[in-house]
Amino acid sequence: GQNIDQPTEMTATEGAIVQINCTYQTSGFNGLFWYQQHAGEAPTFLSYNVLDGLEEKGRFSSFLSRSKGYSYLLLKELQMKDSASYLCAGRWTGGSYIPTFGRGTSLIVHP
Amino acid sequence: DSGVTQTPKHLITATGQRVTLRCSPRSGDLSVYWYQQSLDQGLQFLIQYYNGEERAKGNILERFSAQQFPDLHSELNLSSLELGDSALYFCASSAHGVAWETQYFGPGTRLLVL
């Protein structure tokens, strides 16, 4: 299958750095999205990686290693408002090309 | 605000009933996607439309159907409702319906089946 695996829950301290990992099936892989979703709200787009490497957008960065089937989302200078679920979603060739979402990682930021 | 609107925000109904959820995409977007999100399943893709035509189908039950109208708004019809259909239903839109495009999600409709 095109499984996406990510940890269920993580906690971190305000001002710290946290890395949220995501692993996926490499066969036919075509790209990976990260979305942020606050409780009861809509997911919002954070990043899309196709090529290996790190892409930085302000406090958030996303990394991809295609050969290892691995991605991470790095959040720096954590703020309380960063408490949310972070969804990893992958695309594969063949069949429906619609991104498949993981179950999300619930990040709790405490003072 | 993503620019995608969904109505109603909340819906409470009984088993066996039928409901219609409505979505208006962002201005200029031609493609609409429907997703179901429940606590135990995560975000599940149901169906995609592009410019009025069905483009991709996911884990959509036969009791569910959707369409996209000439003005590009979309409706998701859920019939013979069961308790397990209680979930958040999201609509998303994108400009051209291609896989690498960002999808912009609406605020969702929370459905409770009693």
pLDDT at A70 exceeding the cut of 60: yes
Among A98, A21, A48, residue whose Cα is nearest residue B58? A98
Using CB atoms, which residue from A41, A48, A96 is nearest to B102?
A48
Work out the pLDDT band at B13, boundaries 50, 70, 90.
very high
* Bridge-based pairing state of the strands A53-57 and B19-24: unpaired
B2 vs B76: which has the higher pLDDT: B76
- Please check whether residue A69 touches B, CB under 8 A: no
Which of A33, A91, A98, A105 is most worth mutating to test chain B (most B CB atoms within 10 A of its CB)?
Answer: A98
Among residues B13, B20, B3, B1, the alpha carbon closest in space to that of B64 is found at: B20
B15 min Cα distance to partner chain A (Å)? 23
A76 with A14: CB under 8 angstroms?
no
Q: In chain B, which residues have their Cβ closer than 8 Å to the Cβ of A1?
A: none
| Per-residue pLDDT band at B99 (split at 50, 70, 90) | confident
